[in-house]
Every structure is written in C-alpha cells, then in structure tokens.
Structure 1
Amino acid sequence: MTQPPAPRVLLGHGTENDFVVLPDPDGTGWPEQRLDAALVRRLCERRSGPGGDGVLRVVRSRHVPDAAAALGADLDRCEWFMDHRNADGSHAEMCGNGIRLFLHVLLAEGLVDRAACEKGVLVGTRGGPRRVGAVPGGGYWVDMGPARPFGRGEARIAGRTFAGLAVSMGNPHLACLTDVDLDALDLTGVPAVDPQLFPEGVNLELVTLLRAGGEGADAHVRLRVVERGVGETRSCGTGACAAAFAALEARGAGSGTVVVDVPGGRLSVRVGDGTTVLTGPAVLTATGVLTAEWLAG
C-alpha cells in the first residue's frame, strides 16, 4: 500500500516573530479536526517540536469553516485565508508579522505571482480581510485597517503598574508609554488587567519614545510586547501599530509615520487616511517534513 506523503512544514519569521507554517492549499492535510489545540501546542514547542510563537496554515478560504463568518461579503474576494493559531492552541484574529510571512510563503510556493503581490493581495483573517503586498527591492507591506481606541486601562507586570491606551487592531492591545528601562523588566509573567475592559485578554506593549523622528518619520519608538496566549515575543505587528498610534496620539497627532524598534528588528508604521500600514521583512528559515515518529508521539 502506498503511504501518504509526510506532511510538509516550513519555518519562518517576521522581525523574529517566528511561526510554524503548514502549506495546505486544498484543506486536506490539516483540517480543523486534525489541527487541534494540542497539536498546535506540540508544533510550537521549541525543544520537542519545530518551535514557534504560533502556527500559520496556508489554505484557501473556502476550506475554512469559520471563514464566512469572519469575512462576510468579502469571502469571495479572499482566495487565501491565514489560519493563525497562538502557541497555546487558541485561534488568533490577526498578526502583522505573520501575514507578511504568509504572503512570502504564497510567493515561495508559487501560489501567487510577484506582479500581483506588488499590487496587493487580499487575504482573509479572523480579524477580517487584509490587503498585503510586496515592496519592490524586498520586504512587505500590509494594510492593517484602522486603529480603534476603546478606552484607557492599566496593566500590572514585573512589579509595576503601567497606564496605557486600549487599541483594537482586530485584536485587543494596551499600549503603555513609559520612561522606565525596558531592558530591566522581567516580562515572563502574565499581565494583570481589567477583565471588563479586556474580557478575552490583551496584548501588552511597553513603549518608550526615542526621539521626535528620524528616517523621515514623525516619531521613533522602541517597544517590548507580551502577547496573550504566547508570552513575550521578539516582535508583534499589530502591537507595533497600536504603539505607533498611541505615540502619535500622545503628541496630539492623528496621522504620521513611526519607526518602531522591536527586539527582533525594525518596522515602519504609517497612520492616516483611516487606516494603518505596516512595512517590514519576512524570511523563510527552513523547510522539511514532520516524521511519522513525531506525529505518533
């Protein structure tokens, strides 16, 4: 009897926010009942599995059971769906670093062509449709949609309380501008936040303003981020957008471009015209197969 091919797996990152990527264009390799929370957690384990901050399944929207609810009237416009899972196995709405890597994989796998990518491709996510495109000369941009403030709150972590702006980027954020030494903070814990403001948890950004601008930008910030369901990560695309919005808001500006330094590299965020646009790199680091021995473990 012919054995089915071993399932392929790719590894990659966007500013060191890294993912296990599962190519599954026709939805036959990793259906929902197979890619359950327990398997996602095993895939993200860094010592006993491939390892990553999350899992991205590259699949056509029509094969994702909840795509219609997430995309509504835009379902037919989104051929591809970024089926994103957090490291704890939960579904995630949106990830700016992940969706850049997602487009990079579509290109590397020959599923879209470069010309279409430079114009922008509409990709489905659980946070709604997002347009993402290739930058001539390298890198990727993604229209992240509008940053929507929804109040102010506090987070307690590392023995300190930080006040910040609650911002929705399709997922919830608390962006806290602070002058503390970010390098001195122990961010291994889970932030304590107001459950009424953040009933489903929150991504916490601790942000310091470096200078008024630079590189043609209106502001330059540095951040560390603790993602819900993951812990501290090297980068967070939606977090960079929330931080940029909060930095501009603190200066009384409704629009502008912000350079955002994260532990894993540098991103650029443009806020204006009713949306935010995130630009940064995406890199594939490895490709291989999951062995029968590991899958049976």
Structure 2
Amino acid sequence: MTATPRVLTGHGTENDFVVLPDPDGSVWPGDRLDAAMVRRLCDRRGGLGGDGVLRLVRSEHVPDAAAVLGADLQACEWFMDHRNADGSFAEMCGNGIRLFLHALVAEGLLDRSACADGVLVGTRGGPRRVGAAADGGYWVDMGPAREFGRGTAQLDGRTFDGLAVSMGNPHLAALTDVDVDTLDLTAAPSFDEELFPDGVNVELVNVLEPGEHVRLRVFERGVGETRSCGTGACAAAYAALAVEGRREGTVIVDVPGGRLSVQVGPRTTVLTGPAVLVSAGSLCREWLGD
C-alpha cells in the first residue's frame, strides 16, 4: 500500500462520500478498509466526513463481486464498493453511483464522451447502468421498483404508514400531510422488523403536486438523516404514483440537498441528477498511523 493513498470527496445533492481510487485493488487490499477505517474516514470531526465511502475498483479485485453479479461479472469492469458511515456494506446508492462515474471520469479511468449510452457498473445490489447526461449531470438505470407490502414507522412521537419498496435495498416510503420540515430525525425511527429484517431506509414524503412533484426527508439505515438519498427518491416517486393509481410517470423529487428527477416505468426506474467532486488529496501517514 502506498504511504499516502489518494482520496477524493464529493456529493450528489449533498449526499456526501469519501471516494478512494483503487483501480487494481492494491491500495486497500484485504481487510485494510475495515469497518473501523470506514468509520474513521466518515467521522466529521476526526476524519474527512461523509455519509459513506466509495472505493473505485475493478470488479475482478472484489472478492464478493462474482457472487452478487453472477453472469454479469465480465460485463462490469468497475465495481462500486460502497460502505455506509457505520462501516456496514451497502447494496446500492443512486447518488453514490452518479458520483462514482463522475470520479472515474475525473480520474481519467473513463472517457465521459463514451458514457452517454451508459456504463454497466457492479454493485452489491446487482449491475446498474449509469451514464453522462447532456446537462452535465448523470443518469442511473436503477432497476424496477418492487413493492412488497405496507408497514409503519414510529418517529417523533407519530406513526407513519408507508409503502414497502425495494430498490435493491429496502425502503418505507410514507406519504404524509405533516410538514416534513417540522420532523425531528435525529433519532432512528422504529419499524416492523419482520417486514424489514435487515433494516430499512425511511422516507417521509410531502406531495406538492399529485403524481408529479414531491418533497422528502430520509433516515438512512447505518447513517442517519442524509441530505439526499437516490434510492429513497425512487421509492418516494413510486409511492407518489401508486397512490394516484399509476405505475409509470416522471416525478420531480426535492431533497434538502437539491433536486432529482425520477422516471418510473413498467420495467425500470431512471434517476437523474448532479454529481460534484469537492476536493482531492491524500491521506497523511500521521492520520493513518503507519
């Protein structure tokens, strides 16, 4: 391992990440990037700060890539090795994967002009196609939204009914008339653990224009409240359409960190939004303890 590993920071609608370039898997081999290291990197006082870590690495250097990608392994040159801020592995992140592609382009590992039709990227939620949009942002084929029941979350002294939606990771999208800006999301909501045995991301959603425009706040499992959540935006858009009796359409989703667009179709869901790199540098030997 190099004594001073390169590191980037960036965000997608202020859902922020520490990005670790490691194309050949030599910078963070084995368990070097363990849960404790992830927590240190994401610490907003003692580290760089972030909602998670994204390692830029080729799929062939990720031990569990074959198991999660199966027959698509060879088609996915790159793998988004994504960890939540608490060190746990994450299946998928719509904001993170846009930043992942943007970082690959910025690092000279991919040509942006070759990304217009999309590049297949491996994730622990399966392969995802992500591409460069004409406006400078990025789009992601998030796969189909899969409804798997209804549940409730208890938060801020209230009970919220919601739709259980899988976007490769579990969500409870709760449409509510309570102004989401008034809610206290500093404590984790309680939820039905039988319906969500692996935890759940909870979206509190205000409908601004039925089936067209929503505003949300989200409490992400393993992280806490974040400024944005791409998969959560998709789940919220799906729920906003479903309550209108619709299974397809385009919904504008406002999050605390900006605006996203979600196109829901019968076979897949496409998320579009910005990705921004904030800084680039290296981790110091003093901090690493090497």
The aligned counterpart of 1:129 is 127
Amino acid paired to 1:191:
P
Further displaced range: 92-101 or 23-32: 23-32
Partners of 2:3 and 2:285 within 8 A in 1: no
The aligned counterpart of 1:118 is 116
Alignment of 1:1-297 (within 5 A): 4-212=2-210, 218-296=211-289
Tell me by how many angstroms 1:5 deviates.
4.5
Distance in 2 between residues matched to 1:91 and 1:283, nearest whole Å: 23
Identity among equivalent pairs (%)? 76
Residue-by-residue CA offset, 1:133-175 (whole Å, 9 max, x unaligned): 0001310000000000000000001111100000000000000
Amino acid paired to 1:13:
H
Amino acid paired to 2:116:
E
Distance in 2 between residues matched to 1:86 and 1:181, nearest whole Å: 28
Counterpart secondary structure, 1:105: helix
Tell me by how many angstroms 1:4 deviates.
3.7
| TM-score normalised according to structure 2 size | 0.98
Amino acid paired to 2:174:
C
Partners of 2:247 and 2:266 within 8 A in 1: no
* Poorly superposed stretches of 4+, deviation over 6 Å: none
Amino acid paired to 2:153:
A
Further displaced range: 186-195 or 77-86: 186-195
Counterpart secondary structure, 1:89: coil
Distance in 2 between residues matched to 1:77 and 1:191, nearest whole Å: 39
Partners of 2:148 and 2:165 within 8 A in 1: yes
Distance in 1 between residues matched to 2:127 and 2:213, nearest whole Å: 28
Amino acid paired to 1:219:
E
Tell me by how many angstroms 1:222 deviates.
0.1
The aligned counterpart of 1:215 is none
Gaps of 5+ in 2: none
Tell me by how many angstroms 1:273 deviates.
3.7
Counterpart secondary structure, 1:76: coil
RMSD: 1.1
Tell me by how many angstroms 1:202 deviates.
0.1
Matched residue pairs, number? 290
Residue-by-residue CA offset, 1:255-290 (whole Å, 9 max, x unaligned): 000000000000000001410000000000000110
Amino acid paired to 2:175:
L
Partners of 2:2 and 2:27 within 8 A in 1: no
